[in-house]
Amino acid sequence: MTTTPLPPGSTIGIFGGGQLGRMTALAAAKLGYRVHVFDPEADPPAAQIANFHCAAAYDDQKAVAEFAAGIDVATFEFENVPSPTVARLEGVVPVRPRGEILHIIQDRLREKDFLRGIGVATTAYGQVDGPADLRALAPKIGVPAVLKAVRLGYDGKGQRRLDAGTDLEAVWQDLGASQAILEAWVDFACEISVIVARGIDGKTAAYAPSENRHADHILRQATVPAAIDAKIACDAQACAEKIAAALDLVGLLAVEFFVTRDGGLLVNELAPRPHNSGHWTMDACTTSQFEQFVRAVVGLPLGTPARHSDAVMTNLLGEEWLAWPELAAEPGASLHLYGKKETRKGRKMGHVTRLAPKTGF
């Protein structure tokens, strides 16, 4: 594969036009690249920043072929791009990260099997194809446990908790998936994530882990540094770099971990794209996760992931963004709004990052 970077002025095609695509487009513009966005919605957040928006369905192969003809490299801001679409793109332009990575990460079982195959620790899990599998596996996994649809789950959607006495038949019917994964519940001390970039030359750059607090399965706050030992932070970064290399990734990877009460690390989930828990890098690092993503995708050398400040990033969910006059007036608060027209309960409308002088690792 050529390691010559695409020159500024080249066009990046992004599948998905949400806030991740929007902030990627802003970073691309900073470096002189053009962005085309593919998203079926009218006026999605990224299209307000992009040079061109194709509003077609993700499986509209005619639209995909036309879109591909106008770009120099393709990437995505969400992992559920249909496989035939990725295959069509791969016939025309470089796709970074490559389609095989999407294939692995689109399916929670394939993802966990991949991790186990490269020696990365996860919670105990097993495959469930129906109520009989669930009855057989539940005693082995124990309770509490969590049953997750293997595909299309995010922010806790498609998940059911199992406790002693849970009616397994009912929980299976309620989940409504054709295939699921049953995971042992982790009594974690905290949740952290590491964002790692990997360039076209195989070099990696990992950001400091953030400590992530969720409410109703949605990320509320990411704090850096995380309240963990420096050794655990180092181990998490090394693990994220190992996974990125094993995937032969070119782009960005978010690795979500549980830190167990005895200081161990279990990987919960991967995302091969910018991640909500990495938004703090926009204000606290020389090179943000979005710039790093653009650099990797166009083949530029990666920037430094070093941070100059400590940071607390808070998501603005639903109507919280309406406090923009106060947030804009708050000294030291950096306000980011995503340009979404409709405010809905729990919807990510923006975020605010508060900085403090750097401490810790």
User: Where on the chain is the footprint of ligand AMP (CB under 6 A)?
Assistant: 123, 146, 153, 156, 183, 185-186, 191, 214, 217, 256, 268-269
> Which of residues 142 and 332 has its CB atom nearest to ligand AMP in the complex?
142
Dihedral over alpha carbons 94, 100, 105, 107 (to 10 degrees): 140
> Which of residues 33 and 125 has its CB atom nearest to ligand AMP in the complex?
125
Q: Cβ 238 to ligand AMP, closest distance in Å?
A: 21
Closest residue to bound ligand AMP by CB = 186
Q: Cβ 224 to ligand AMP, closest distance in Å?
A: 17
Give one DSSP letter per residue of 315-350, joined into a string. EEEGGGGGGHHHHHHSTTEEEEE---SS--TT-EEE
Cis peptide before 225 (omega within 30 of 0): yes
* Bridge partners, residue 211, by sequence: 192, 223
Cα angle: 168, vertex 171, 174; to 5 degrees: 150
> Which of residues 135 and 213 has its CB atom nearest to ligand AMP in the complex?
213
> Which of residues 14 and 186 has its CB atom nearest to ligand AMP in the complex?
186
Q: Cβ 266 to ligand AMP, closest distance in Å?
A: 8
And the tokens for 116? 């186990």
Tokens 């519940």 belong to which residue? 185
Half-sphere exposure for 331 (CA within 13 Å, toward CB): 1
Q: Cβ 153 to ligand AMP, closest distance in Å?
A: 6
Q: In Å, what is the CA distance from 186 to each residue of 46, 208, 215, 351?
A: 36, 23, 17, 28
Half-sphere exposure for 357 (CA within 13 Å, toward CB): 0
> Which of residues 90 and 155 has its CB atom nearest to ligand AMP in the complex?
155
- The count of residues in the chain is 361
> Which of residues 25 and 239 has its CB atom nearest to ligand AMP in the complex?
239
> Which of residues 183 and 241 has its CB atom nearest to ligand AMP in the complex?
183
Q: Cβ 301 to ligand AMP, closest distance in Å?
A: 32
Q: Cβ 40 to ligand AMP, closest distance in Å?
A: 24
Q: Cβ 258 to ligand AMP, closest distance in Å?
A: 7
> Among 313, 106, 108, 100, which Cα is nearest to 193's?
313
